[in-house]
Amino acid sequence: MPPGLDNLRHIVVLMMENRSFDHMLGSLKAVDSRIDGITDQLSNPDATGALVKPQPLADFQGQLEPDPDHHFPAVDLQIFGGDTSPGRVANMQGFVKSYFDQQRDVKHSQKIMYYFAQNQLPVLTTLALEFAVFNRWFASIPGPTICNRAFAHYGTSFGRVDMNLLYVGEPFKSIYDRLINAHPKHTAKLYYYDTSSSTMEITNLLQNQPQLFGTYEQFLRDCRKGTLPDYSFVEPNYSDHDSDVGAELANDQHPDHNVQAGELFIASVYNAIKQNPKLWASTALLVVYDEHGGIYDHVVPPACPPDKFTAPPNDTGTGAEFKFDRLGVRVPAILISPWIPKNTVVDRTFDHASIPATVTKFFLGDYSPRSPRETNADVFIEANVAPVDPTRNLLSLDNMRTDCPDFGV
């Protein structure tokens, strides 16, 4: 069996906030043409009809104010360019129009097309080039944070496309429940930054199973001591706030929080794992974003097998129901492990349902019941069961790399 899979004991997922693939990693097309990023042919019309091209003028903070709209109706406009007719075709031409709707400022609306130059994001771009970057990782639904994060926890959002209270409908268990109740038992934890930031999964997990949660300090300790659970989900800091140790800068990268703070956080998570050699050899870290935050991306989200739920027109806000049969906008996603060859580019399609699908398949094997969306989602780590398809296994090296980067934080 491949040694990368034989050695794998821990999967860690760090889910950041509200930035699209082109916005964060689009610059890398110029470095590696296999990476589906920014080209000169891309554009969006503004409110005057003029074509606005993407430009490497993104700022770390203070630019995307107001927060670009990323609720279902706005994302529908972004993807379909304002076409609401039956049989419409997605064209990714509505981003500038959508941002214009918020302030009626033509010049300001064009900033939604800005992206970061490679040297502005040394952590994310280095990781993308050093490990496996996913060309086709999409948000699970064309909508906001909480329902997208639900796909990462449950493989479904139980029919929700908004930010309202989301109560779990049986029988789809969270990935944490599946692991801790398995025979033999596995371990799982969600690490939130601190209690002032907390988690976005309150209604079900925090309220009923707070023992599943730890803080980021505990994550760092667990990495040092080698007591990380089989599966860990890490949440960034969602707010600027004071704490017992001083000022804590939001590091989730949600507009208008400082993007550099998020770079430091990603590096910190990576370093924590890498600085424990046993852990580094036995862990795969996925850095992914929950949704695109209303920011431009050029890749049309594909259709997908529908979920068993339908969101009614009142919930979608578009006048039409949604059967969860189309993915959301593309987001940055990078898989990190010393068993992954440098410069790996993955073209298969994934969304956040791939997270519980992968973790379940790797640790538990066959499992039901699961949502149709999760059952149909691709996995990013193959199960360590013969035969392992070498064309799909990303942890494919025979020998562990010794040339992986280090970050000075």
Partner 1 sequence: MTIIQVPRPDPKQSMDPHRPVNALLKAQIQHLYDAELKLPAARQSDIYINAIKTEGEAADYVRRVTEAIHQAHDAAAAKRTKRKRKPGIAIAAAAEPRRGRKRTSPTKGKKTSKAKPKRKR
Binding site for partner 1 (CB under 8 A): 17, 60-61, 67, 71, 122-123, 126, 144-146, 163-165, 194-200, 202-203, 206-207, 210-211, 213, 238-242, 247, 249-250, 254-256, 258, 260-261, 263-264, 267, 403-409
Nearer to partner 1, 36 or 235 (CB): 235
Q: Are 352 and 288 in contact (CB under 8 A)?
A: yes
Q: Are 373 and 156 in contact (CB under 8 A)?
A: yes
Q: Smallest distance from the beta carbon of 326 to partner 1, in angstroms?
A: 22
The beta-strand segments (E) located in 185-239 are 188-192, 213-215, 231-234
Nearer to partner 1, 367 or 407 (CB): 407
Say how far apart CA 115 and CA 102 lie, in whole Å: 20
Say how far apart CA 110 and CA 103 lie, in whole Å: 12
Q: Are 37 and 128 in contact (CB under 8 A)?
A: no
Nearer to partner 1, 216 or 363 (CB): 216
Q: Smallest distance from the beta carbon of 365 to partner 1, in angstroms?
A: 32
Tell me if residue 394 falls in helix, strand or coil. coil
Best CA proximity match to 8, nearest among 401, 240, 282: 282
The phi, psi pair for 29, rounded to 5°, reads -60, -35
Q: Which residue has the tokens 């490679």?
A: 118
Nearer to partner 1, 239 or 376 (CB): 239
Q: In the numeric block, which tokens belong to residue 110?
A: 């064009």
In order of 111, 124, 138, 302, 334, the CA distances from 23 in angstroms are 11, 12, 14, 19, 15
Q: Smallest distance from the beta carbon of 401 to partner 1, in angstroms?
A: 10
In order of 14, 101, 285, 355, the CA distances from 234 in angstroms are 5, 34, 10, 13
Calculated CA dihedral for residues 160, 161, 166, 170, nearest 10 degrees: 30
Strands 132-134 and 333-336: antiparallel
Nearer to partner 1, 160 or 330 (CB): 160
Q: Are 315 and 76 in contact (CB under 8 A)?
A: no
Q: Smallest distance from the beta carbon of 277 to partner 1, in angstroms?
A: 14
Q: In the numeric block, which tokens belong to residue 316?
A: 């979608």
Nearer to partner 1, 100 or 238 (CB): 238
Best CA proximity match to 345, nearest among 146, 107, 135: 135
DSSP for residue 288: E
Say how far apart CA 114 and CA 55 lie, in whole Å: 5
Q: Smallest distance from the beta carbon of 108 to partner 1, in angstroms?
A: 18
Nearer to partner 1, 203 or 393 (CB): 203
Angle between helices 95-103 and 72-80 (to 10 degrees): 130
Say how far apart CA 24 and CA 367 lie, in whole Å: 35
Q: Smallest distance from the beta carbon of 197 to partner 1, in angstroms?
A: 7
Nearer to partner 1, 42 or 146 (CB): 146
Q: Smallest distance from the beta carbon of 252 to partner 1, in angstroms?
A: 9
Nearer to partner 1, 126 or 376 (CB): 126
Q: What number of other Cβ atoms are within 10 A of residue 319's Cβ?
A: 10
Q: Smallest distance from the beta carbon of 135 to partner 1, in angstroms?
A: 24
Q: Smallest distance from the beta carbon of 405 to partner 1, in angstroms?
A: 6
Q: Smallest distance from the beta carbon of 363 to partner 1, in angstroms?
A: 26
Nearer to partner 1, 187 or 258 (CB): 258
